[in-house]
Amino acid sequence: MLVADCIAFKYGTRSVLKEVSFTVNKGEICSLLGNNGAGKSTLLKCILGFLRPGRGRVFLDGKDLSSMNRTELARRMGYVPQMDMIPARLTVFDTILMGRRPHIIWEARPRDLEVVGSVIETLGLQELSLRYLDELSGGELQKVVIARALAQEPEILLLDEPTSNLDPKNEVEVMEIVKYAVEERGMAALIAIHDVNLALRFSDRFVLLKDGCVLASGGPEVIVPTSLKEVYGTDFDIGYSKSMKVVVPLSKKWEDRKELISGGKSYGQG
Amino acid sequence: METATAVSVTSAYRSYSRRKVLFIVAISTATILLGLFSMVMGSAGLSPLDVIKAIVGRADKHVAQIVINIRLIRVLAAIISGINLSLAGCVMQSVLRNPLASDYTLGVSQGAAFGAALAIVALGAGSVQSTSADAVIIRNPYLVTVAAFVGALSATLAILLIVRYRGMTPEAMILAGIAFGSIFSAGTVITQYFATDVQVASIVFWTFGDVGRVSWQELAIMGAVTFPAIFFFMLNRWNYNALLSGDDVAISLGINVRRTRMLGMFFSSLITAVVVSFMGIIAFLGLVSSHLMRRTVGNDYRYLIPASCAMGSFLLLGSDTLSRTIVAPVVLPVGAITSFMGGPLFLYMLAKGNRRI
């Protein structure tokens, strides 16, 4: 469904993306993994058209995104940005209604309100619908932002670290919402994410970014200690919990230093 | 398929929206009543009935002359200026994402005043007198408006450039605005000393605006600018809402952020310029009315735009009525009254550290 073909992007002379190609299929969640500064956010912004890639093209259902106008792009792609903004003083309902903006000509029609109502219901936000955003907790706020993107009725959702500031309960809830939306509505989702375990638990496909290139892409089989070490620069253990793959990052440097400090003994014994 | 809860959520929202509409209608009605009251007040000793008769064309010539050409024009000028200044304030606050932004705090009004003063003194569009009653006479209102607009636009461009090349906190942006405002105000004062016969009165003309100086022709120019501007802003109301959530979100909703920002500032400068060219600077009105409405109807521009228009005209009309009656028969400049009202609010907002809209 979404095909990125040889995307390259430079900030000034600094090359962030060199040659990135991958595919996301309908009904799939695809996780974009890479260390800080690997270009995950930049890649999302190139796909969304915020940034113009120096080279390469993105296709959605075979159609080149650069040939679409702003409204068409907004009708087909929903974006959930990183949470670094002070929330505006708007009600939850008004915020989600804004997702209908690409579909509204002059004023919201009954159908727009219906879509917002049903998204609110699906995400269980009924109690909050007339509350202001700045009165919400981080988890609630993130759900509202996702609800706004869902109200756009897009074909693909692009999420930039949607779980980075959330507690474990909210992390899982947010990812479940995304999974539900993808399965129920036959959408696709591309998620830039740091938490490898969450990615493993919820996504069907993985794209590992390293130095502006795709190191590996594919199903859960690409998540192995060697590829993770290559991406994050540290060792990983892989285990299983309730038949789910779990990765544990190890810190070699810290182990070495600990030995150095305590003269070869661990703190427990000293 | 829609379920019962989804229906109740949307119907709760509908009644919430209806309350906002009712509120706007109430302020508009209050403005009209205040307008009638304002036309009754004054030394001619007219009754409300006289005023209504004069408006519908059934009063004698003398009364009609007072009501239409002195009182009504003044009320209409207050209403249109109130609309313009509060619209400019509420749009600037969205496109710059700065709750402290307004025509006055960014120096846009001062820029317009400088442009107008320059047109009158240097380009011969009018003359500066020494008497306080008619301190400035405008002979070519079009030239004055254009020059005021150029002045307003140069202040706006300066702000936009500084925002673009140095990411700024809202407070720093206002400091820059104060700097620009002072430069323009100094320019205005100096310009007037080049006028043939100048006294303090004409300087007061620009520093504290007054709605009682307008002619019908000038009012027509203001209206010709104001109504298309309201339409334009209403057309962009969804975009202003989206900008509240940041540029990235706005772009992802299909909005041309740069164009929305530029055109928003352009039209805000234009509507400010027409007010300032004919009436002088009316400080803080845009800031006060838009914030009163943000607190009551909220930040949703679909309602905030009409609500600010209503509140702006209500406040300016009220301030003008007060300025005519408080030490009658002396008429104070209305700009002094609005400053008394807005200054404390501005300080309060700064103290509260209100950084978001």
The answer to whether A99 contacts B356, with C-beta atoms less than 8 Å apart, is no
- Do A194 and A225 belong together in one domain? yes
Per-residue tokens: B191 = 């310009």
Give the chain A residue nearest B246 (alpha carbons): A85
Asked whether the predicted pLDDT for residue B184 surpasses 90, the reply is yes
ipTM of the complex model: 0.87
Distance of CA A47 to the CA centre of its chain: 13
For residue A100, the model assigns a pLDDT of 95
CA–CA distance, B230 with B221 (Å, rounded to integer): 15
Of the ranges A242-251, B166-175, B324-333, which one carries the lowest mean pLDDT score? Answer: B166-175
Span A12-37, pLDDT tens digits: 888 999 999 999 999 999 999 999 88
CB atoms closer than 10 angstroms to residue B288: 26
Nearest CA in chain B to A131: B13
Contact (Cβ atoms closer than 8 angstroms) between residue B80 and residue B223: yes
Measured in angstroms, the CA of A207 and the nearest CA of chain B are apart by 23
- Nearest partner of B323 among B157, B214, B212, judged by Cα: B212
A218 and A243 part of one domain: no
- What is the mean predicted confidence (pLDDT) over A102-106? 90
3-state secondary structure of A237: strand
Same domain, yes or no: A181 and A263: no
* Distance of alpha carbon A133 from alpha carbon B239, whole angstroms: 18
- A263: pLDDT confidence band, cut at 50, 70 and 90? low
> Do A138 and A64 fall within a single domain?
yes
Q: Which residues in chain A have Cβ-Cβ distances shorter than 8 Å to B255? A: 70, 101
Q: Is A154 on the interface with B (CB under 8 A)?
A: no
Our CA-based measurement puts residue A30 at a distance from the nearest CA of chain B, in whole angstroms, of 20
Give the pLDDT score at B120. Answer: 83
User: Confidence class of residue B49 from pLDDT cuts 50, 70 and 90?
Assistant: confident
Output B2 or A197, whichever has higher pLDDT.
A197
- Which of B7, B9, B242 lies closest to A98 in CB terms? B242
Q: What is the mean pLDDT of chain B?
A: 86
Do A247 and A129 fall into the same domain?
A: no
Contact A89 B6 (CB under 8 A): no
Using a CB-CB distance cutoff of 8 angstroms, which residues of chain A are in contact with residue B300? 90-91, 94
* Domain around A59: 2-233
How confident is residue B128, by pLDDT bands cut at 50, 70 and 90?
low
Confidence of residue B1 (pLDDT cuts 50, 70, 90): very low
For B33-87, the DSSP string reads: HHHHHHHH-STT---HHHHHHHHTT-S-HHHHHHIIIIIIHHHHHHHHHHHHHHH
CB contact under 8 Å between A121 and B252, yes or no, is no
Give residue B133's pLDDT. Answer: 54
Is the pLDDT at A102 greater than 70, yes or no?
yes
Find, in chain B, the residue whose alpha carbon is nearest to that of A70. Answer: B254
B8, B10, B244 ranked by CB distance to A113: nearest: B10
Q: Chain B residues with CB inside 8 Å of A129's CB?
A: 9, 12-13
**Quick check: A17 contacting B, CB < 8 Å?**
no
Q: Which residues of A touch B258 (CB under 8 A)?
A: none
Nearest to B245 among A48, A88, A93 (CB): A88
Among candidates B3, B253, B357 on the partner chain, residue whose Cβ is nearest the Cβ of A121: B3
Residue A263 gets the label, from left (phi > 0), alpha (psi -120 to 50) or beta, of left
Label the pairing between strands A244-249 and A77-80: unpaired
Q: Where are the domains of chain B?
A: 17-352
Tell me the mean pLDDT in the region B172-195.
87
Mean pLDDT of A143-161: 95
**Residue A42's domain is classified under what CATH number?**
3.40.50.300
A234–chain B nearest CA distance, Å: 33
Q: Identify the CA nearest to B139 among candidates B108, B116, B112, B110.
A: B116
Nearest to B356 among A86, A118, A126 (CB): A86
Q: List the single best residue of A72, A73, A94, A126 to mutate versus B (max B Cβ within 10 A).
A: A94
Q: Which residues contact A194 (CB under 8 A, 6 or more apart)?
A: A33, A161, A164
Q: Name the residue with tokens 């004054």.
A: B42
Q: Which residues of B229-266 are buried (b: 16+ CB within 10 A; e: fewer)?
A: bbebbbebbbbbbbbbbbbbbbbbbbbebeebbebbbb
Same-domain check for residues A222 and A269: no
Please write the tens of the pLDDT for every residue from A116-127: 999 999 999 999
Q: Which CATH class is domain B17-352?
A: mainly alpha
- Residues whose CB falls within 8 Å of the CB of residue A133, separated by 6 or more in sequence, listed in order: A87, A88, A89, A90, A91, A92, A95, A141, A144
| Cβ separation B16–A85 shorter than 8 A | no
Whether residue A264 sits in one domain with residue A186: no
The answer to whether residues A101 and A172 belong to one domain is yes
Rounded to an integer, the average pLDDT of B79-92 is: 96
- Please report residues of B whose CB lies closer than 8 A to that of A121: 3, 5-6, 9
Residue B244 Cα distances to A137, A162, B59, B160, B241, angstroms? 19, 20, 51, 17, 5
Residues of B near A (Cβ–Cβ under 8 Å) read: 2-3, 5-10, 12-14, 16, 238, 241-242, 244-246, 248-249, 251-256, 294, 298-300, 302, 355-357
Whether A257 shows a pLDDT value over 90: the answer reads no
Q: So what's the pLDDT on residue A157? A: 96
B290 has pLDDT over 80: yes
Considering the domain architecture, whether residues A121 and A41 belong to the same structural domain is answered as yes
Q: Let me know whether A86 and A153 are in one domain.
A: yes
Q: Does one domain contain both A34 and A76? A: yes
Count of the separate structural domains present in chain A: 2
Q: Residue A146: closest CA among chain B residues belongs to which residue?
A: B249
Residues A41-63: what's their mean pLDDT? 92
Q: Which of B9, B232, B255 to mutate to test the interface with A (most CBs of A within 10 A)?
A: B9
**What's the average model confidence in pLDDT over A247-251?**
86
Same domain flag for A82 and A35 = yes
Percent of chain B with pLDDT over 70: 91
Q: Which of B9, B244, B294 sits opposite A129 (nearest CB)?
A: B9
Closest to A89 (Cβ–Cβ): which among B242, B251, B356? Answer: B356
Q: Are A40 and A160 in contact (CB under 8 A)?
A: yes
Question: Closest Cα partner for B312 from B328, B334, B332, B344?
Answer: B334
pLDDT confidence band for A258 (50 / 70 / 90):
low
Neighbours of A71 (CB within 10 A): 14
Alpha-carbon distances, residue A41 vs A9, A44, B316 (angstroms): 12, 5, 48
Residues B66, B215 contacting (CB under 8 angstroms): no
Q: Do A121 and B6 touch (CB under 8 A)?
A: yes
Would an 8 Å CB–CB cutoff place A169 in contact with chain B?
A: no
Measure B240 CA to nearest chain A CA, in Å.
11
